Amino acid sequence: MSVEKRALLKLSKQYNRYQALLKKYTQLNDHFPIHLDQGKAGFFIVGYLAQNPDASAVAIKQATSTKVADFDTTLTELITRDLVSENDGKYRLTKQGLELRDGLEARRDRIASEAFQGLNEAEQAQFYQLMSKLVAEYASRDIDYDQVEKA
Protein backbone atom coordinates (compact mmCIF):
# COMPACT_ATOMS: atom_id res chain seq x y z
CA MET A 1 0.00 0.00 0.00
CA SER A 2 1.41 3.35 -1.01
CA VAL A 3 0.79 6.36 1.21
CA GLU A 4 0.29 9.69 -0.51
CA LYS A 5 3.19 12.05 0.28
CA ARG A 6 0.82 14.94 1.03
CA ALA A 7 -0.99 12.79 3.58
CA LEU A 8 2.38 11.98 5.19
CA LEU A 9 3.26 15.65 5.35
CA LYS A 10 -0.11 16.54 6.88
CA LEU A 11 0.23 13.75 9.43
CA SER A 12 3.77 14.90 10.25
CA LYS A 13 2.51 18.45 10.91
CA GLN A 14 -0.24 17.10 13.18
CA TYR A 15 2.29 14.96 15.03
CA ASN A 16 4.62 17.95 15.55
CA ARG A 17 1.71 20.07 16.83
CA TYR A 18 0.52 17.47 19.31
CA GLN A 19 4.07 16.72 20.44
CA ALA A 20 4.71 20.43 21.15
CA LEU A 21 1.40 20.76 23.01
CA LEU A 22 2.03 17.60 25.02
CA LYS A 23 5.46 18.92 25.99
CA LYS A 24 3.92 22.22 27.08
CA TYR A 25 1.15 20.41 29.00
CA THR A 26 3.72 18.27 30.83
CA GLN A 27 5.76 21.36 31.72
CA LEU A 28 2.69 23.26 32.93
CA ASN A 29 1.73 20.37 35.20
CA ASP A 30 5.27 19.84 36.40
CA HIS A 31 5.95 19.86 40.13
CA PHE A 32 9.40 21.23 39.42
CA PRO A 33 8.69 24.82 38.43
CA ILE A 34 11.73 26.83 37.45
CA HIS A 35 11.87 30.14 35.65
CA LEU A 36 15.01 31.77 34.39
CA ASP A 37 14.92 35.36 33.17
CA GLN A 38 17.09 34.35 30.23
CA GLY A 39 14.73 31.52 29.26
CA LYS A 40 16.05 28.38 27.63
CA ALA A 41 19.55 29.83 27.31
CA GLY A 42 20.24 29.12 30.97
CA PHE A 43 19.10 25.54 30.58
CA PHE A 44 21.57 25.04 27.72
CA ILE A 45 24.42 26.22 29.93
CA VAL A 46 23.24 24.03 32.83
CA GLY A 47 23.13 21.05 30.48
CA TYR A 48 26.63 21.76 29.20
CA LEU A 49 28.07 22.15 32.70
CA ALA A 50 26.40 18.91 33.80
CA GLN A 51 28.49 17.13 31.19
CA ASN A 52 31.58 19.35 31.49
CA PRO A 53 32.26 20.44 35.08
CA ASP A 54 35.07 22.95 35.58
CA ALA A 55 34.66 24.35 32.08
CA SER A 56 36.01 27.76 31.18
CA ALA A 57 33.72 30.56 30.07
CA VAL A 58 35.25 30.35 26.59
CA ALA A 59 34.47 26.63 26.32
CA ILE A 60 30.91 27.12 27.57
CA LYS A 61 30.34 30.05 25.20
CA GLN A 62 31.69 28.12 22.20
CA ALA A 63 29.57 25.06 22.96
CA THR A 64 26.35 27.00 23.52
CA SER A 65 26.83 29.99 21.17
CA THR A 66 24.08 29.01 18.73
CA LYS A 67 21.55 28.74 21.56
CA VAL A 68 22.62 31.51 23.95
CA ALA A 69 22.33 35.01 22.49
CA ASP A 70 23.45 36.95 25.56
CA PHE A 71 26.00 34.65 27.17
CA ASP A 72 27.34 37.03 29.82
CA THR A 73 23.87 38.00 31.12
CA THR A 74 22.77 34.37 31.20
CA LEU A 75 25.87 33.17 33.05
CA THR A 76 25.56 36.05 35.53
CA GLU A 77 21.94 35.09 36.23
CA LEU A 78 22.94 31.47 36.87
CA ILE A 79 25.66 32.57 39.30
CA THR A 80 23.35 35.08 41.04
CA ARG A 81 20.71 32.36 41.50
CA ASP A 82 23.37 30.05 42.97
CA LEU A 83 22.99 27.49 40.18
CA VAL A 84 26.58 27.90 38.94
CA SER A 85 29.76 28.72 40.83
CA GLU A 86 33.07 30.07 39.55
CA ASN A 87 36.52 29.28 40.89
CA ASP A 88 39.69 30.47 39.13
CA GLY A 89 37.88 30.92 35.83
CA LYS A 90 36.29 27.47 35.95
CA TYR A 91 32.54 27.04 36.20
CA ARG A 92 30.53 24.19 37.67
CA LEU A 93 27.01 23.49 38.85
CA THR A 94 26.24 24.07 42.51
CA LYS A 95 24.06 21.70 44.54
CA GLN A 96 21.03 23.72 43.41
CA GLY A 97 22.28 23.59 39.81
CA LEU A 98 22.59 19.81 40.01
CA GLU A 99 19.06 19.61 41.43
CA LEU A 100 17.85 21.75 38.53
CA ARG A 101 19.60 19.45 36.06
CA ASP A 102 18.05 16.38 37.74
CA GLY A 103 14.61 18.00 37.62
CA LEU A 104 15.03 18.85 33.93
CA GLU A 105 16.09 15.28 33.14
CA ALA A 106 13.09 13.91 35.03
CA ARG A 107 10.86 16.31 33.08
CA ARG A 108 12.35 15.10 29.78
CA ASP A 109 11.72 11.50 30.84
CA ARG A 110 8.06 12.33 31.63
CA ILE A 111 7.67 14.08 28.28
CA ALA A 112 9.18 11.11 26.41
CA SER A 113 7.01 8.68 28.34
CA GLU A 114 3.88 10.71 27.57
CA ALA A 115 4.84 11.17 23.92
CA PHE A 116 5.34 7.49 23.15
CA GLN A 117 2.99 5.71 25.57
CA GLY A 118 0.77 4.72 22.63
CA LEU A 119 3.57 2.60 21.12
CA ASN A 120 4.88 -0.68 22.49
CA GLU A 121 8.66 -1.20 22.70
CA ALA A 122 8.93 -2.81 19.26
CA GLU A 123 6.97 0.04 17.69
CA GLN A 124 9.12 2.60 19.52
CA ALA A 125 12.25 0.92 18.14
CA GLN A 126 10.78 0.92 14.63
CA PHE A 127 9.76 4.58 14.96
CA TYR A 128 13.29 5.42 16.14
CA GLN A 129 14.84 3.64 13.17
CA LEU A 130 12.56 5.41 10.69
CA MET A 131 13.12 8.84 12.24
CA SER A 132 16.89 8.21 12.33
CA LYS A 133 16.80 7.30 8.64
CA LEU A 134 14.92 10.50 7.78
CA VAL A 135 17.22 12.70 9.87
CA ALA A 136 20.33 11.14 8.30
CA GLU A 137 18.87 11.65 4.83
CA TYR A 138 18.03 15.29 5.58
CA ALA A 139 21.53 15.87 6.97
CA SER A 140 23.17 14.36 3.90
CA ARG A 141 21.50 16.82 1.50
CA ASP A 142 23.64 19.54 -0.04
CA ILE A 143 21.99 22.27 2.01
CA ASP A 144 23.65 24.72 4.41
CA TYR A 145 20.98 24.41 7.13
CA ASP A 146 22.75 26.96 9.38
CA GLN A 147 22.51 29.54 6.60
CA VAL A 148 18.86 28.67 5.94
CA GLU A 149 18.07 29.02 9.65
CA LYS A 150 19.60 32.51 9.72
CA ALA A 151 17.66 33.67 6.64
Angle, CA of 124, 117 and 107, to the nearest 5°: 105
| Tens-digit pLDDT string for the chain (151 aa) | 567 888 888 888 998 898 888 888 877 777 665 666 666 778 889 999 999 999 999 999 888 876 666 888 889 989 999 999 999 999 999 999 999 888 888 888 888 888 889 999 999 999 999 999 998 998 999 999 888 888 8
What's the pTM value of the predicted model, to 2 decimals? Answer: 0.67
Give 8-28 as a DSSP string: HHHHHHHHHHHHHHHHHHHHH
* The predicted structure's pLDDT at residue 37: 63
